[in-house]
Amino acid sequence: MGADRDLRIGVLALQGDVAEHAAAFAAALSGRPGEHAPVIAVRHPHQLDGLDGLAVPGGESTTISRLIEKNLMRRPLLEFEGGVFATCAGMVLAAREVDDPRVHPLGLVEMTVARNAFGRQRESFERDLSVTGLVAPFHAVFIRAPIATRVGPGAAAIAALDNGAVAVRQGRHLALSFHPELGSDLRLHHLFLDGL
């Protein structure tokens, strides 16, 4: 699918680790055929036009939720036809339901998500995960990570820990509770790009 055509990717740049996502996607695209446009920072609705994919980064989900409303991004994000690569706080925002009333999720992925499921920043950890679609385990970095406590029939858990799913795929969307942009392993980025 995405491997044989040029792709345009953006990163929602309202708050969070935007630069890391932009760098990771730029590196992933540079290894693929075609002349890909630079990864762009998306701050305004019109910047979604023509994008094939959008990364929604980690950060503070309540803050990003508020900034989506303030910047009039909610409807454009709901109408966005490309794929969404959502990590950590992005996974919270992509969910259908969230355990915090301060977050207004976008409902892009049929799942219920618990914010900060593993505790505070000092409870951050790393783990090798078995991920459907990848041959070898993926080394995942969890920082104040959420977890999907329920995955609906339209979505599929592709990686899980004992208390729930940590990677969920639905159509073109990929939601991850960890931070693949913090390492050099780009296999999940390629998995996402292949589905566009």
How far, in Å, CA of 180 to CA of 145, rounded?
13
Mean pLDDT over the full length of the chain: 94
Could you list the active site residues? 88, 179, 181
Residues paired with 140 in a beta bridge:
127
Q: Rounded to 5 degrees, what are φ and ψ at 86? A: -110, 125
How far, in Å, CA of 189 to CA of 196, rounded?
11
Q: Rounded to 5 degrees, what are φ and ψ at 33? A: -65, 155
Residue 81 scores a pLDDT above 90 = yes
pLDDT (tens digit, 9 = 90+) per residue, 91-147? 999 999 999 999 999 999 999 999 988 876 667 899 999 999 999 999 999 999 999
Record the tokens describing residue 1, joined without a space. Answer: 């699918």
- Number of domain units in the chain: 1
For residue 121, what is the domain's CATH number?
A: 3.40.50.880
Residue span of the structural domain in which 115 resides: 2-194
Residue 8 scores a pLDDT above 60 = yes
Residue 31 scores a pLDDT above 90 = no
